[in-house]
Amino acid sequence: MHKIQIKFRNWALVFATLCVVSAGFLLTSCEGEEEADPKVVLYSFGPMPIARGAELKFIGANLDKVTAVVLPDNITITTFTKKESGLLTLTVPQEAMPGYVTLKTPDGNITTKTTIGYSEPISIASFTPATVKAGDVLTITGDYLNLVGEVILTDRIVVSEDDFTSHTRTEIKLVVPAEAQTGKIAVSNAAEEPIIVYSANTLTVTLPAFTSVTPNPVKAGTNLTITGTNLDLVLSVKLGGGKVIDAEDFDSHNATQIVISVPEDTKDGKVIMVPASGVEVTTAEDLVMVIPTVTVTPVTLKNGEDITVTGTNLDLIDHVIFGGDKQGTIKAGGTATQILVTVPDDAVDGVVTFVTKADKEITGPNLTMIVPAFSSFSPTSARAKTSITLSGTDLDLVTKVIFTGGLEGAIGTQTRTSLAVTVPVGAKTGKITIVTKNGTQVISAIDFTLLANLPTFGSYGETRGEPGKILTINGTNMLLVKELIFPGNKTATAYGSKTDTKIEVYVPEDVTFGTGTIGLVTYEGEEGFFPAIYFGGTDPVIDQTYCFFDFNGTGKDSWWGNAIGSGILADAANSADGTPFWNINGMGGTGWWDGLFFRNGSNNYVTTGVDVNTWAVRFDINVRETISEGEFRIRLGSYYYHFQPWNGVAGGFKTTGWITVTCPLTGFVSDGGEVIPDAALGGSEFGFIWSHGVSVKVNVGIDNVRFEPIN
């Protein structure tokens, strides 16, 4: 809050001067015979600054000889309130201005050494009218208003001197701006450090006011009428949901009425009028949006069929939600009293909900989706690649036919009452399951019998199918097999032993890595599959959760590696599992510590359930060039595993491809020989380091570094 700033000079100086002069007079009168100087002398004048209308004093000698005093600008005063030799006083006229003062004497003019200044206390006496409307003329009365450079209304709305309609010392007139708000007014001299004077009373600025808002409830898209007073001041109207309608978009607008079109997505809420001042005027009650009424038929129907919705205000509906949170399709051509909505193929039983553009929900009835039934299929037994026909009702809803073994048959001719399906290769004797558009499954009452003369699988002799090596398949009637087809559609070309209970087959070198099945063809032309098995030169990762380096862009990558030629390589044909891996092909051991790959921080480092005594760090490695010296130091915090498979190997060590190696956690020790007590201690820093004092060529690939139990 600014305070009135009025500057006064201290009267003490004047009083002290008077005392000195008086003492001088006394001394002069006591000096006896010495003759007084007859000239007029001015010692001082004041007070300074002085208010117009106040008494101005001149102190000196022989001042009774002064004939006139001239104040700026050329105001000659010959009438004095006191005229004595040592003191001359006069009343300062209201029109006096700052400047030098001249005393006229018989001996000539005396001009003051300093200028006269005035205390000009700006004041507000009153203003009228007390209540105004934007555009009205406001009159402010007071004193020294001629010094006012601006009038300040509430919320810093400023009317500058150039915009005053009238401006005198005692009165200012101005037009009330549209932005004005109720509150105190103030006048200012507009200086860099302004004098600001506030009114004692509050100026009331008229706001628009509501009389009524109709209709309420209102339908989106229709007109809303606002009646009231001073509505011509309104610049915009706000509705629920953040809707703002500007004045230029009003359907009609005058001082007593506003008509607007309610936007389609308006929500329940207050109606707010906003004038130029920004002071919002709000209704006491919410404006409520009309919602539709609905009746739905039928309530039991198929996916993809239409429901008929009748009721009122249906044109407000934006979308329709069916069971399973599936959105239907509103057909074109609907009216406010009837619409058609197509049930989505994947909707399930449940309540149908209608949602307006204003996000209001209307709950409809519970709908039941018709489920197909098949009473029979024929023939009830067949060979793979032959067709059988399912008979029943509503079979046009079926999207899948699944045979025992989880294999899907190819659907052919399909009607409401029948469906032809081809028995897939690999199908087994058992139930047939049909799956509808919405995922509902119906299982046959009787078994389908697969006619086939196929071998019976028993087990695999190895844990994985390693490219270029024998995989043993155990079972019965194995001599029926004519050929085997591996993942990637790779036909086996080399076999070992082949008996009625066992087949030894060399896994093709270019088999697709990963888990897959082996297809078989018998001498009679029958086709089938042996169960899935992992293919690759390495052991499969048992639980990806425990893998902390896989270099696949999953966040389990190295953030640092300074060994020459190191980095992530995406080369599926030469990887362990068809995914990127860490590749090193350069000189290692140029210093005692070369970071092959490393991470600081425990992200993706999971050790829950890891038992130091029974678990290991396992990883896949491919040593492409012989290594004879040096070591990998596998680091888990302050504990290390010294990986040196070439130690004691004549001629050095290399692999013929990718292998999986196991490093028991009991082999991770500190520099002091302490075995790591908890794998979680490695969460601070972990990785691979090449440690050797001399340069050694390191040409290896590493992948899938993880914790796994030791089998």
User: Which of 236, 251, 282 is a domain's end point?
Assistant: 282
Q: In this structure, is residue 429 part of a structural domain?
A: yes
Buried b / exposed e over 646-656, threshold 16 CB at 10 Å, is: beeeeeeebee
Q: What is the pLDDT of residues 569-607, one digit of tens each?
A: 998 878 888 889 988 887 765 544 466 777 766 778 899
Q: Check if the beta carbon of residue 441 is closer than 8 Å to that of residue 431.
A: no
Q: In this structure, is residue 4 part of a structural domain?
A: no
For residue 543, give the nearest of 710, 711, 679, 709 by alpha carbon: 709
Question: Residue 25: its pLDDT value, please?
Answer: 35
User: Which of 450, 468, 484 is a domain's end point?
Assistant: 450
Q: What's this model's pTM, rounded to 2 decimal places?
A: 0.56
Buried b / exposed e over 139-169, threshold 16 CB at 10 Å, is: ebbbbbbebbbbbbbbeebebeeeebeeeeb
Q: Which amino acid is at 43?
A: Y
Give the whole-angstrom CA distance, residue 629 versus residue 696.
8
Number of folded domains in the chain?
7
State whether 92 and 130 are in the same domain.
no
Domain that holds residue 251: 209-282
Q: Which amino acid is at 269?
A: G
State whether 685 and 581 are in the same domain.
yes
Give the whole-angstrom CA distance, residue 414 versus residue 391.
10
State whether 29 and 150 are in the same domain.
no
Q: In this structure, is residue 133 part of a structural domain?
A: yes
Q: What is the CATH number of the domain that holds 464?
A: 2.60.40.10
State whether 304 and 428 are in the same domain.
no
State whether 301 and 178 are in the same domain.
no
State whether 362 and 508 are in the same domain.
no
Q: In this structure, is residue 3 part of a structural domain?
A: no
Q: In this structure, is residue 7 part of a structural domain?
A: no
State whether 270 and 411 are in the same domain.
no
Per the listing, tokens 């018998």 go with 522
Give the whole-angstrom CA distance, residue 46 versus residue 419.
120
User: Which of 205, 222, 243 is a domain's end point?
Assistant: 205
Q: Check if the beta carbon of residue 582 is closer than 8 Å to that of residue 588.
A: no
State whether 273 and 310 are in the same domain.
no
Question: Residue 588: its pLDDT value, please?
Answer: 63
Give the whole-angstrom CA distance, residue 94 versus residue 88.
19
Here the tokens at position 238 are 């706000």
Q: What is the pLDDT of residues 400-422, one digit of tens each?
A: 999 998 899 999 999 999 999 99
State whether 569 and 678 are in the same domain.
yes
Q: Which amino acid is at 686?
A: F
- Residue stretches of the chain with pLDDT short of 70: 1-36, 561-564, 588-595, 600-601, 691-694
State whether 200 and 132 are in the same domain.
yes
Give the whole-angstrom CA distance, residue 321 versus residue 331.
14
Structure letter (DSSP) for residue 546: G
| Those residues with Cβ within 8 angstroms of residue 590's Cβ, 6 or more apart along the chain or in another chain | 564, 695
Determine the length of the chain: 711
- Name the strand (E) or helix (H) holding 530: strand 527-535
Give the whole-angstrom CA distance, residue 3 versus residue 405.
93
Gyration radius (Cα) of the chain, Å: 51
State whether 606 and 705 are in the same domain.
yes
Give CA angle at 255 (253, 261), nearest 5°.
25
Give the whole-angstrom CA distance, residue 292 versus residue 313.
5
For the chain, counts of helices (H) and of strands (E): 1, 63
**Beta strand pairing call for 407-414 and 441-443:** unpaired
Question: Residue 693: its pLDDT value, please?
Answer: 63
Buried b / exposed e over 551-561, threshold 16 CB at 10 Å, is: bbeeebbbeeb
Q: What is the CATH number of the domain that holds 278?
A: 2.70.50.70
Reading phi first (left if > 0) and then psi (alpha if -120 to 50, else beta), residue 550 is in alpha
Q: Check if the beta carbon of residue 637 is closer than 8 Å to that of residue 607.
A: no
State whether 445 and 460 are in the same domain.
no
Q: What is the pLDDT of residues 278-303, one digit of tens each?
A: 999 999 999 999 999 999 999 999 99
